[in-house]
Structure 1
């Protein structure tokens, strides 16, 4: 009875307000506008897809990702599903334009769409059209109507790479009351760590929770192997130079990094710094060029090996993992803002890592800190000291890099466990062994 009341209240009040605010925000924000427009376009893509494949997919897996980062992490899972069920169809839906707008195709994925507005009618329409065998939700982007509709239509729901950090608002009133009713609709919650598993057990029957690890560990090793085959910069630019890569940076990171780099370059004048902003908009890139001195910077799109500069500014998405392969030391951004970004990509190359104090959202960041592979910095002085120490002490740099690599390696293998759990719950017999990236 209470579940029905929550559904009614959500669809009468919260969902319409959220959708209305989204349409209003679209008038002022291009990113929001792209997401709103894309949802209407996706409705047509689904119709076309069903006309082509409507009666030919006994098994269709519907995968929900918030953004590009979550999609990157589940690529090994997509490969494993296709390896074991070659005739299945896979549809990936994104909440954010950062995912949908940056990927047009991927091996194993039959259709990319935007997730519908989280309102009863469009969500129900999606499930009626696709009739998925299962809904797989990545990490923590759980939407009420998506879960309620899937459950009502008897579609098994799996939360993969499930994480819930300590102190999360999801565990406090009033969200805790809602989440208890949402998560009990899940068939299985596949948590990334014992700690995350225990936190999910505060919300749901413990039998639904299984600790299997995180597929991002498998993916970073796969990316590391592939990136070594695809150099992104001319070797003449970085040969015989110390290289520092600052990845996924925000203005909050850069305001600490730039003064530190000014100090470091006094001691290491041939240092090559590659800065890869999380959102490489023209305004952001232009402000960085101004701050660094335009004569010191060259953009990736204009790279010229005959004109070496102290700074390379990355104005393209999707190549950060490749860039880490060139570095001796890395900094991971978001750690002076809201949430730290992917620390595993540099770890997979055996590189010591610096990041700021906002890292509690990342289980792997905690592992890297506790192992001694990462250095937490709180200001420009900490960054300068950390960089100078690591670049001038090769033994220490190698030691921390090896520790980072071991953290990443020890935690790989989640893909096989996740596919096994899904197939067991769906009573699907795997045709082949799960591939290791």
Structure 2
């Protein structure tokens, strides 16, 4: 099985290299890893040790960020190094000020793992939610460097819990302690003999509550919203935008802000074809004539834009799964999303308390819009988020013993 794993890693690298010739994300993936060990060697102090945080992408960074920042606040002398697997995380957070270095994670090979860990000299490693790399975990384990998974979540259909998942379970056993989101995850890990597990909840609740307590002002957005009611659509994809274009026509008295997940020019132009009167955030004049729809063609603003909304639509539910609902809920804003939300406990919870609705077509979207406005869902959303905070303190108390 290890042989197949190694072949799979090499094959993945070849495929990405081919795609890099015509795909910008793949190009970033390859270029960012070129001479990576030389970049690390030049930036880090070889005589120091570091706390290593790894994140798959930007979402996992925001999820693990409260733990990282709590460590830095309580132990300011600690040095921190961050790796990302995805360009969407690295390119946005490569200048993150609390880290001594931010790098792409090289592909998981035995030689890469040994080189990276020798350069980082980590006193411990923290991985957020998922990403289980055999050679990195083994190299850490071989050097007795503690590995922690925070905000972990497991489901019965995952390979770890199948009869043929022995190799994958071996990766799990390299981990010193799992901090998981729910009881089901604890029971699943226990069923395969893993006992070093705590239910700590999801650190995203801590992060979104921090963001809602001290949001960034965006005067241009505030000016655009004026005094009208505001519908915000975050992390949308084309199927979402098809429905939203109809909703715009149905509710001319509302202002709409659409922040698509992909902001390349081709995608923005497709949205403008659907909604010709929409204006772009980056082209918005200082005193624009009133438009009903604004397209946010900029990264990094969405979590602060939610503060201006009265109701929010979260995209992704007609694809692989919905994006982050908690950023909006933390501001006390009810949410709507597509049908694929089964992997997200918070989405199920928000529906159960009447603070969210799942829709499959335009009629259901329009009905959910009217329903959530009328039933005082906003207060329920905020209370739900506040009831779930505290995961960061629990995790920090435990891992601080290893400093």
Tell me: CA distance 1:178–1:248, structure 2 relative to 1, closer, same or farther (3 Å): same
Does the 8 Å contact 2:125/2:148 carry over to 1? yes
**Structure-2 residue corresponding to 1:321:** 303
Does the 8 Å contact 2:2/2:167 carry over to 1? no
Aligned residues: 402
Structure 1 residue 234: Cα displacement:
4.8
Does the 8 Å contact 1:190/1:210 carry over to 2? yes
Structure 1 residue 179: Cα displacement:
2.1
**1:120-269 to 2 correspondences below 5 Å:** 120-174=110-164, 176-205=165-194, 207-227=195-215, 229-262=216-249, 264-265=250-251, 269=252
Tell me: CA distance 1:156–1:355, structure 2 relative to 1, closer, same or farther (3 Å): same
Q: Is 2:10 the counterpart of 1:16?
A: yes
Does the 8 Å contact 1:276/1:314 carry over to 2? yes
Does the 8 Å contact 1:260/1:381 carry over to 2? no
Distance 2:156 2:306 in 1: 30
Q: C-alpha root-mean-square deviation of aligned residues, in Å? A: 1.7
Does the 8 Å contact 1:274/1:313 carry over to 2? yes
Structure 1 residue 351: Cα displacement:
0.6
Tell me: CA distance 1:312–1:173, structure 2 relative to 1, closer, same or farther (3 Å): farther
Does the 8 Å contact 1:253/1:337 carry over to 2? no
Distance 1:333 1:320 in 2: 12
Distance 2:219 2:35 in 1: 34
Structure 1 residue 250: Cα displacement:
1.0
Does the 8 Å contact 1:78/1:109 carry over to 2? no
**Structure-1 residue corresponding to 2:315:** 333
Higher RCO (C-alpha 8 Å, min separation 6): 1
Q: Is 2:24 the counterpart of 1:47?
A: no
**Structure-2 residue corresponding to 1:301:** 282
Structure 1 residue 171: Cα displacement:
3.2
Deviations 1:264-321 (A, max 9, x none): 22xxx2211100001111110000001111xx11101122343111110010011111
Which of 373, 380, 384 is equivalent to 2:362?
380
Distance 1:204 1:377 in 2: 39
Distance 2:298 2:160 in 1: 34
**Structure-1 residue corresponding to 2:52:** 62
Structure 1 residue 374: Cα displacement:
0.7
Distance 1:34 1:359 in 2: 30
**Structure-1 residue corresponding to 2:20:** 26
Distance 1:28 1:173 in 2: 40
Structure 1 segments (4+ residues) deviating >3 Å: 6-9, 165-174
Structure 1 residue 166: Cα displacement:
4.7
Structure 2 unaligned regions, length at least 5: none
